[in-house]
Structure 1
Amino acid sequence: MIIVPGSINADLLFPVRTLPAPGETVLCPSYTMALGGKGSNQAAAAAKAGADVRFFGHVGSDAYGPLVRQLLADAGVEVAGLVDSPKPTAIAVIGVDEKGENQIIVASGANLDTHAGQVPGHLLVAGNTVLCQNEIRTEETFKALARANEAGARTILNLAPSCPLPAGVLDRLDVLVVNELEILEATGIQGEPGVLAADLARRHRLTVVVTLGAKGAIAATADERFEVSAMKIRPVDTTGAGDAFTGVLAAYLDRGSSLEEALHRAAVGAALACERLGAQSAQPRMDEIEARAQDLLMPRKLM
């Protein structure tokens, strides 16, 4: 089982020819609303990849609250832990250009009420996985990870948005997922991502996964390093690709897959998520991931 104490948003998607420069206004013919938020995105991606997922968070009592709650449930996520807040449901405004690149502004709203204590203690047991991001209050994310670690559950943190990570937090993690910029903030030093990941993994006895966009991803443990390429696709929208990667990675690790297999399927899932518009609406199901798995070579072990 995967437990996600995290963020949930209503995403407003604006397809534009080019993204606006500072001070510039751009027009587009329409917009669409979709379910988003890194916590919700990763929970949905894990559920679609076959995991049993429980979500804990907050939505507002506005029109968006019931809508996003239902959409997350429709994705296969248990939402009994999603409760109402007097604050408005979080909203993300997302511009997506013709190349699939995006700009995002998020109003956190009800996400700021989500806290570690929402997760019942009986779910924090060995064999379960707690998956966190950094879109609720950072101190609550760290508390949730500490509770899970003390109870013997697997702990996964996607450090997005990035922030400095205290050594005590790193020591409680089983898996850290970051991109090329986030690992610089996590370590506080400059360097090549693979080297930084390997050093972090050795010092804190954890697995560090670094996503590299079109260059694929790398994973480092205290003893080994792996590299996986990106699957060749024609991208439509890169919004949510990182969340798809993390959710699929968590799902495969939770079911007992090896790091190599989980890394591979996560790379496949992230690529497939770029072939359609939106974040959760673009996420692949497990059967789609397995059907396309042969299109990408398995990770290679680095010396």
Structure 2
Amino acid sequence: MAIWNLGSINADMVYAVPHLPGPGETLAATGLQRFLGGKGANMSVAAARAAAHVRHLGAVGADGAWAVERLMEYGVDTRHIQQAADPTGHAIVTVDPDGENQIVIFPGANRAIPEVAVQAALSEAAAGDSLLIQNETNAQLLAARIGRDLGLRVCYAAAPFDAEAVRAVLPYLDFLVLNAVEAEQLERATGMGPGALPVRDVIVTLGAGGARYFDTKSGESRDFPAVPVMPVDTTGAGDTFTGYVLAGLDRGLPMAQAIAQAMRAAAIMVTRHGTADVIPDLKDVQAARPG
């Protein structure tokens, strides 16, 4: 089986700062690094490093060949990445000494993916495959509808959060991942808590508090504790978690095992500076298994 990811591709410009800047504050950075990033690229790399077959649907500008090559190096199938007239998306990331971050995103080519290219790519998908979308590209609703019609497991990582974007795709989803703040925002917008949503599987990530899984069919929920580590950079941890969960499910792992493995992957990720380029591979995650 395969994971089809309609996802963003960014250049992440990561600045180390003494503290996160406040309104109107000018702050001198103490370091700068460029990484492959974007929630889509991060999730594709995470799923590929977790031993899934990942096909990325997206777009870069004429300046983005390096990003496509980097995805290929990490085992992602890039044949469905288009070149757009817009420049490649990029993110400005500031990270403080405690690993907390602030991020500003320029979408660029991520919002210029030809819908006909999405349709053509997904025509190759098969029932039982997974489709992953986030809110950093165009064509999310189109892809979700196609995915449902084809019998794919349609998954949505609800970030950057927009209530209307989630509402639009909600009828087509099988799996929803969002953080605690996003869950509260969605509940205010819909009047439904995570366990009451019309989505079969829902995961709410809780940062240092771990994650909570809701099986809406049975009405049961389960908490998964975070793996205790000393974080240096939380950028990309949620994307790593999502990619690893979907890869585990794609490989036939039970949900609980897939989540536990993803928790370990995210824990390793926050001990590293960077985004897609430093996502741990499966052997690192398995070696970190307790006991």
How far did 1:197 drift?
Answer: 1.5
Question: 5 Å matches for 1:83-122?
Answer: 83-119=82-118, 120-122=121-123
Residue 206 (structure 1) aligned with residue 205 (structure 2): no
Shift of the alpha carbon at 1:40? 0.6
Distance 2:145 2:102 in 1: 33
Shift of 1:125: 1.8
Alignment partner, residue 194 of structure 2? 197
TM-score by length of 1: 0.90
Which of 182, 205, 211 is equivalent to 1:217?
211
Match of 1:283 in 2: 279
Give the CA deviation at 1:116. Answer: 4.6
Change in Cα spacing, 1:243 to 1:198, as seen in structure 2 (3 Å) is: same
Unpaired stretches in structure 2, ≥5 consecutive residues: none
Deviation at 1:182, TM superposition (A): 1.1
Q: What does the per-residue CA deviation read over 1:140-180, in whole Å, with 9 as the maximum and x for residues that have no partner? A: 11211110111001111000011225666323111000001
4+ residue segments displaced more than 6 Å: none
Structure 2: how far apart are the matches of 1:101 and 1:13? Answer: 12
Which amino acid in the other structure matches residue 286 of structure 1?
L
Distance 1:182 1:109 in 2: 24
Corresponding letter in the other structure for 1:251: A
> Quick one: distance in 2 between partners of 1:159 and 1:174?
13
The 1:168–1:30 alpha-carbon spacing in structure 2 relative to 1, beyond 3 Å, is closer
CA deviation vs aligned residue, 1:49-70 (integer Å, no higher than 9, x gap): 11010111111112xx111111
Q: How many percent of aligned residue pairs carry the same amino acid? A: 37
Taking the TM superposition and a 5 Å limit, the aligned residue runs for 1:134-173 are 134-137=135-138, 140-164=139-163, 169-173=169-173
TM-score (norm 2): 0.93
CA-based RMSD: 1.7
Aligned to 1:178: 178
Residues 109-164 of structure 1: CA deviation (Å, up to 9, x unaligned): 11111255423243332121111111012xx1121111011100111100001122
Q: Which amino acid aligns with 1:155?
A: V
Structure 1, residues 188-210: CA drift from partner, whole Å, max 9, x if none? 3599xxx922122xxx1411100
- 1:83–1:115 distance in 2 versus 1, CA, 3 Å: closer
Letter in 1 for 2:210: G
Corresponding residue for residue 78 of structure 1: 77
Query: Whole-Å Cα distance in 1 between the matches of residues 181 and 30 of structure 2?
Result: 33
Question: Take 1:101 and 1:87, find their aligned partners in 2: how far apart are those partners?
Answer: 30
- 1:22 counterpart residue number: 23
1:227–1:90 CA distance, 2 compared to 1 (3 A): same
State the AA in 2 paired with 1:197. P
1:4-83 alignment runs, 5 A limit:
4-62=5-63, 65-83=64-82
Alignment partner, residue 258 of structure 1: 254
CA 1:124 to 1:104, structure 2 compared with 1: closer, same or farther past 3 Å? Answer: same
Is the 2:176–2:199 contact (alpha carbons within 8 Å) kept by the matching residues of 1?
no
Structure 1 distance, partners of 2:194, 2:147, is: 23
